[in-house]
Chains A and B, each alone.
Chain A
């Protein structure tokens, strides 16, 4: 079974600044996927960024990047040049690579971007 832990229930950041959200996970799999999802007040879960465990290179999507530390089982999300629209709940999630379709989510971090 996989577990995902987000230790920061709430965070805030000034507009245009950089913020890092933490996530640790536990899995016995060698092949797995990691994700960060954003949930704005509309409640729709939106995929922000994804990482394949066998790829050492950290994934990057525009202002969003991850720091994937496989040995430490850590998968943090860095948001650069924070914008007001980044205000949302952020969920870290994992999935087994062995044909699994289930996502295992952390409890989320509420991020507030302050103007």
Chain B
């Protein structure tokens, strides 16, 4: 596609429920990143996928968070047993090469609200 597409745009869920957030990167971009933006905070790195290599999960805040990337394209971020502190905007980005100097393209994010 022309840009990075994320769905849903907004999601309201009850505490304790599981949610799935989807990211469809730019076609041909082998690198994919998830970031979390909590209210009043900058972006926080969550996870990085590069081609078929093992992902860098070092930024995931707890074992309730997981992510996968199927076929080197679409990625899904799953949050199990959601908590109120999970409320945030979840942003996905993709790039042709992994060096940020050469440009990451971000999606418009999913705003998750846990009530």
On whether the beta carbons of B31 and A101 are closer than 8 Å, the reply is: yes
A interface, how many residues as a size bin?
20 to 34
Using CB atoms and an 8 Å cutoff, list the residues of chain A in contact with chain B: 4, 33, 35, 42-47, 50, 52, 91, 93, 95, 99-108
Q: Does B25 contact A (CB under 8 A)?
A: no
Q: Give, as a whole number of angstroms, the nearest-CB distance from B42 to chain A.
A: 3
Tell me which of A4, A44, A100, A108 contacts B106 (CB under 8 A).
Answer: A44
Q: Give, as a whole number of angstroms, the nearest-CB distance from A97 to chain B.
A: 8
Q: Give, as a whole number of angstroms, the nearest-CB distance from A77 to chain B.
A: 15
Using CB atoms and an 8 Å cutoff, list the residues of chain B in contact with chain A: 31, 33, 35, 40-45, 48, 50, 56, 59, 89, 91, 93, 98-101, 103-104, 106-109, 111
Chain A neighbourhood of B59, CB < 8 A: 102
**Distance of A101 Cα from B59 Cα, bound (Å):** 12
On whether the beta carbons of B108 and A33 are closer than 8 Å, the reply is: no
On whether the beta carbons of B101 and A45 are closer than 8 Å, the reply is: no
Q: Beyond A91-B43, A95-B100, list 17 extra A-B contacts (CB 8 Å).
A: A33-B100, A33-B101, A35-B100, A43-B89, A43-B108, A45-B43, A45-B91, A50-B101, A91-B42, A100-B100, A101-B31, A101-B33, A101-B56, A101-B99, A103-B45, A103-B104, A107-B41
**Distance of A108 Cα from B89 Cα, bound (Å):** 15
In the complex, 18 of the A-B residue pairs with CB atoms within 8 angstroms, ordered by the A residue number, are: A43-B108, A43-B109, A44-B106, A44-B107, A45-B91, A45-B93, A46-B106, A47-B104, A50-B101, A95-B101, A101-B31, A101-B33, A102-B45, A103-B45, A103-B100, A107-B40, A107-B41, A108-B42
Tell me which of B31, B44, B93, B108 contacts A42 (CB under 8 A).
Answer: B108
Chain B neighbourhood of A104, CB < 8 A: 45
Chain A neighbourhood of B48, CB < 8 A: 101-102
**Distance of A42 Cα from B108 Cα, bound (Å):** 6
Chain A neighbourhood of B56, CB < 8 A: 101
